[in-house]
Amino acid sequence: MAETFYLTTAIHYPNGRPHIGHAYETIAADVLARFHRQMGREVRFQTGTDEHGLKMAQKSRDLGQTPRELADEMSGYFKDLFATLDISYDRFIRTTDEDHYRASQAIWKAMEANGDLYLDRYEGWYSIRDEAYYDESELIEGEGGEKLSPQGTPVEWTAEETWFFRLSAYGDKLLKLYEDNPDFIRPESRRNEVMRFVEGGLRDLSVSRTSFDWGVPVPGSDGHVMYVWVDALTNYLTGLGYPDETENMAKFWPADLHLVGKDITRFHTVYWPAFLMSANIPVPRQVYAHGFLLNKGQKESKSLGNVTDPADLVNAYGVDVLRYFLLREFSFGQDGSYSAQAIVSRANSELANSFGNLAQRTLSLLFKNCEGQLPPINDATADDDALRQHVERVIVQEMPAAFTDLAFAQALEAWMGAVFACNAYVDAQAPWALKKTDPERMKTVLATLYICIAQLAVAVIPVMPASMGKLLEQMGITPDLRRFDAIRTHWYPALVDSNFHLEKPQGIFPRLELPETPSEESA
């Protein structure tokens, strides 16, 4: 039976259209899903929208809509964007889906049966923007002296009767979880933060609301809806069929990876494992908190007028350029700043000029000088072997290890190193000049390059599925070969012996121009 891998993104609030942060997280998750599939694993990948809570209720009221109407409209935009971004999810969950109510109520009942829920009165600070309760001691002061959440969002005093979850009973169990599983929270800096928070002592958590009704009803408690994070986190189980003992639950739970942004680490590494322990459900294997994406150093916001629709970036640069850029440019656990300039220069130097040009030059020479027939390799030299070994090392060891570790930038750095090595080899061997002086040698050089290009293309399918598919199609590399292990073996002689004929090659990465830029950019 194939090894399984279940990964999820956070589910996105559909209180507005999707932005670049949503695209970034979902692309990264998609690259991992494709990578693990390519390694032969049975992958399940879930994403979706988080549709309950006060934030949605208020936003829809402001717009004169029902929350359901707002959620329907906005979740449609998320789905459309994910299609544009080539996201290969297995389920797009909406927390208003019927099976999700059932799952949320089931986990609630399991926590209640364990004695972890009790009714009391809550008084304290709540941030609607974060959908989070904060302790007085966590608040910071705004410019006008007003109280703000640690994320800098407004908070309001809340007082109501609510159900509490006995989080205070889970401190030691959580600390043991982190200690026994050093990879449960990554990166390390986030793990330290969470450990300090838990060591500071946990208070019981308010987990229901009575002041509005846009949520999952608390079973047997009229007038109460669940705190939005209780139902939101449960989405990861709903998608597998919980509470039924389904085949997917048996196969995919506990989740291998919850991929989330750094702002919601606490919910995933403190509340969620505590809820699960209470309900007697195994905890996920890992939560990875990635960094935030900034637009030229600033957070995108309506008030700054710098909100970018990710679909516009796709239209301007192409989906694979955007996917490549986002994973290549930034260290995944850290914040990063993007700009049109950075996208164009990365795409031109690495995709158009380096890899694209390498493929185009090699395939064109084969097309023109060998009538599209693939030549066999005769008498490989030490240079040929050294290049082949470099590329193999990168695709067999370095890239899979880096992808497994979510070190996307490092995987692509190793890939680029191999592309540079191929280009240096082309320049040194000058196959165009060999046509007259030593045609046999020319063939061996082109064949060596052909193998390397195919291998390098296969290794970046997870990042650039559409363009690599197009290139590999032209090269006669059938889908069964498009795996890390399969592309190592002796497919080349078989392809040479088959009736494969190379057509006139089509470029895959055009050079990009910088769009008309506002004057501040040239300043």
For ligand MSP, the binding residues (CB under 6 A) are 10-13, 21-22, 24-25, 50, 232-233, 235, 260-261, 263-264, 292-293
Residue (71 or 232) nearer to ligand MSP, CB = 232
CB of 341 to ligand MSP, least distance (A): 19
User: Who contacts 504 (Cβ-Cβ below 8 Å, separation ≥6)?
Assistant: 367
Beta strands 225-226; 257-261: pairing state: unpaired
CB of 430 to ligand MSP, least distance (A): 45
- For residues 231 and 218, give the distance between their C-alpha atoms in angstroms, rounded to a whole number: 10
Q: By beta-carbon distance, which residue lies closest to ligand MSP? A: 261
Residue (13 or 355) nearer to ligand MSP, CB = 13
Residue (292 or 432) nearer to ligand MSP, CB = 292
Residue (10 or 322) nearer to ligand MSP, CB = 10
CB of 298 to ligand MSP, least distance (A): 10
- For residues 215 and 51, give the distance between their C-alpha atoms in angstroms, rounded to a whole number: 8
Residue (238 or 467) nearer to ligand MSP, CB = 238
Residue (39 or 260) nearer to ligand MSP, CB = 260
Residue (21 or 318) nearer to ligand MSP, CB = 21
Residue (50 or 320) nearer to ligand MSP, CB = 50
User: Who contacts 427 (Cβ-Cβ below 8 Å, separation ≥6)?
Assistant: none
DSSP string, 321-376: HHHHHHHHHS-TTS-EEE-HHHHHHHIIIIIIIIIIHHHHHHHHHHHHHSTTPPPP
CB of 57 to ligand MSP, least distance (A): 14
| Whether 104 contacts 225, CB under 8 Å | no
CB of 482 to ligand MSP, least distance (A): 30
CB of 358 to ligand MSP, least distance (A): 32
E-state strands within 176-297: 185-186, 205-206, 208-209, 225-226, 257-261, 287-290, 293-295
CA angle 113, 117, 121 (to 5 degrees): 155
Provide the terminal-to-terminal Cα distance of the chain, rounded to the nearest Å. 59
- For residues 403 and 39, give the distance between their C-alpha atoms in angstroms, rounded to a whole number: 11
Radius of gyration of the chain (CA): 26
CB of 427 to ligand MSP, least distance (A): 39
The phi and psi torsions of 20 (rounded to 5 degrees) equal -65, -30
Strand partners, 185: 287
- For residues 71 and 94, give the distance between their C-alpha atoms in angstroms, rounded to a whole number: 9
CB of 274 to ligand MSP, least distance (A): 14
